[in-house]
Amino acid sequence: MSVASLAMYASPLPVKEATALFWVALGKRLRAGGVDAPEALDEKTRYDEAWLRPDLLFGQTCGYPYVRLLRGKVQLVATPVYNLPGCDGSLKCSFIVVNAASRAQSIAELRGARAAINEPGSNSGYNLFRAFVAPHAVDGRFFSAVQETGGHLASIDAVARGEADIASIDCVTFGNTLRFDPQRVAGVRILAETAKGPGLPFITAAATPARELVMLRRALAETIADPELAHVCDTLSLRGISLLGDADYEVLAELDRDAARHGYPVIA
């Protein structure tokens, strides 16, 4: 039996529940077409360990690890289109957030501040953040301290509690939290938006046959368009898919190289 993993947007609880329901519908459609699809999502395997499983039928990764680690090792299925602030079709930005009480009006005013990042492998919490800050860095530095929180919600909490002054939050995560857990983002405000790049792609294993890849794309589009799933897709703010290729994700690798050209290869 193959594996399906959708752990990138797994909170707040209504989003987690809707994600599980979405897979039930998608998996049923795939099985009806002859694809050996699991009935439920794998919630035991760590999100990034699922990416390279040879039995991965359907998963979701981040664009930055895709261009750094996964190219040639997985196949792109499609890129979701979300209907949330900061999204533009398959493109999305990160929101630069500061404490709600902060008087800062620009990134330049935050030189020497304390930054929170979710993890260095993240596009939204690191790659886009670094690209935003790089032009302002001097001798490879801009912040006085950088703490790794392990997740976007933890970064929001750190800024809200005053343990950090600034963070870069995936606009989909921020939008989901604002909709379903507004109190959590009440202690921060959006200072700016980063550049936009392609969103988190759905992927399948390199070994997935071409026929199944075609069926994955068709079943995915049909499931999103199914009127009976409208409430589920509305909870997920999922409006459609875009078929992007490897070249479309190259912009994220270019942001990486551009930061290095600015003398700012790591957030510091």
> Do residues 188 and 160 lie in contact, with contact meaning Cβ atoms separated by under 8 Å?
yes
Starting from the edge strand earliest in sequence, which strands make up the sheet with 3-5, in order?
3-5, 56-60, 202-205, 74-82, 238-242
Distance CA 152, CA 150 (A): 7
**Mean of all residue pLDDT scores within the chain:** 97
Ordered by where they begin, the domains of the chain are 3-84+198-253 (3.40.190.180), 91-196 (3.40.190.10)
Quick: pLDDT tens for 33-60: 999 999 999 999 998 999 999 999 999 9
What is the DSSP pairing of strand 166-170 with strand 202-205? unpaired
Flag whether pLDDT at 108 surpasses 90.
Answer: yes
Using only C-alpha atoms, the chain has a radius of gyration, in whole angstroms, of 19
What confidence score (pLDDT) does residue 1 get? 78
Sign of CA pseudo-dihedral 123, 125, 130, 136: positive
pLDDT one-digit tens code per residue, 224-261: 999 999 999 999 999 999 999 999 999 999 999 999 99
| pTM, to two decimals | 0.96
Q: What is the pLDDT of residues 141-185, one digit of tens each?
A: 999 999 999 999 999 999 999 999 999 999 999 999 999 999 999
C-alpha–C-alpha distance, residues 124 and 98, integer Å: 16
**For 81-97, what is the mean pLDDT?**
98
The string of pLDDT tens digits covering residues 202-217 is 999 999 999 999 999 9
Output the 3-class SS for the chain: CCEEECCCCCCCHHHHHHHHHHHHHHHHHHHHCCCCCCCCCCCCCCHHHHCCCCCEEEEECCHHHHHHHHCCCEEEEEEEEECCCCEECCEECEEEEEECCCCCCCHHHHCCCEEEECCCCCHHHHHHHHHHHHHHCECCECCCEEEECCCHHHHHHHHHHCCCCEEEEEHHHHHHHHHHCHHHHCCEEEEEECCCEECCCEEEECCCCHHHHHHHHHHHHHHHHCHHHHHHHHHHCEEEEECCCHHHHHHHHHHHHHHHHCCCCCCC
The closest alpha carbon to 81, from 190, 182, 199, belongs to 199
Q: Percent of the chain beyond pLDDT 90? A: 99
Tokens of 220: 């995915």
pLDDT at 38: 97
Contact 185, 159 (CB under 8 A): no
What average pLDDT score do residues 97-124 get?
98
- Residue with structure tokens 């992927």? 203
Whether pLDDT at 126 is above 90: yes
For residue 47, what pLDDT is reported?
87
Is the four-CA dihedral 52, 56, 57, 63 of positive or negative sign? negative
pLDDT exceeds 90 at position 116: yes
